[in-house]
Amino acid sequence: MSEEMNKEAEVQEEAVDIPVTDGSEEEAADTAQTAEEETSEEPAQTEETEQSDQEAESQKEPETKTKTSFFGKKKKEKDKFEQQVEELTDRLKRSMAEFDNYRKRTEKEKSSMYIIGARDIVEKMLPIVDNFERGLAQAPEDDPFAEGMKMIYKQMMTAFDEMGVKPIEAVGKEFDPNLHNAVMHVEDESVGENIVVEDFQKGYTYKDFVVRHSMVKVAN
């Protein structure tokens, strides 16, 4: 009897020692675990955000560098193109100036050659003119043949005048070594000093060139 009572007492004590748990403690534990998980997830999310920002920046930097290099390359190409244009323009201007100088020089040479050729022809015709003048000086005034020769002589001198061939005036003019060739000197007080008193052979000019000097007598 006493043994059974002792066993019951022990059973009651054990029942008293068992802690009583309710739903509130389990909820608290779950809340704490959730908070820990959220706390642990926040750094991970922060790291992911920072990593994504770095990746975005790293992607922007190459794009910026690419744009900068592109525009820099374009500017260099533009500068090079402008330099080439300036060089070509300068070469064109030089070529045009050289061509203009060549054209002027050629025209001058051509004109000079024409003048030289015409002067040579006139010079070869002058002896014929001299013979006409000598023949007319000896011909009778009333001779019909002489009248015809005078008309031919007049036509020839008109053609000379139209070509620019002019006779040099000598008698009564002051001696000019550029136009006259003195072959005789005479003492004559009736005329001034260094004055041409006689023309032995008529001289001629073609434009501004002397074809033949006049052969004259000059008074001292």
Q: What is the mean pLDDT of residues 106-133?
A: 87
Residue with structure tokens 């744009």? Answer: 67
Strands (E), 117-194: 165-167, 180-186
Q: Which of 194, 190, 191, 189 is nearest to 218 (CA)?
A: 194
**Rounded CA gap, 144 and 159, in Å?**
23
pTM: 0.52
Domains of the chain, with CATH numbers?
98-219 (2.30.22.10)
**Rounded CA gap, 141 and 139, in Å?**
6
The total number of residues shown for the chain amounts to: 220
- 130-180 per-position pLDDT tens digit: 998 888 888 887 888 888 888 999 999 999 999 999 999 999 899 999 999
What DSSP state is assigned to residue 169?
P
The answer to whether the CB of 127 falls within 8 A of the CB of 156 is: no
Query: At what angle are helices 144-163 and 23-138 packed, to 10 degrees?
Result: 160
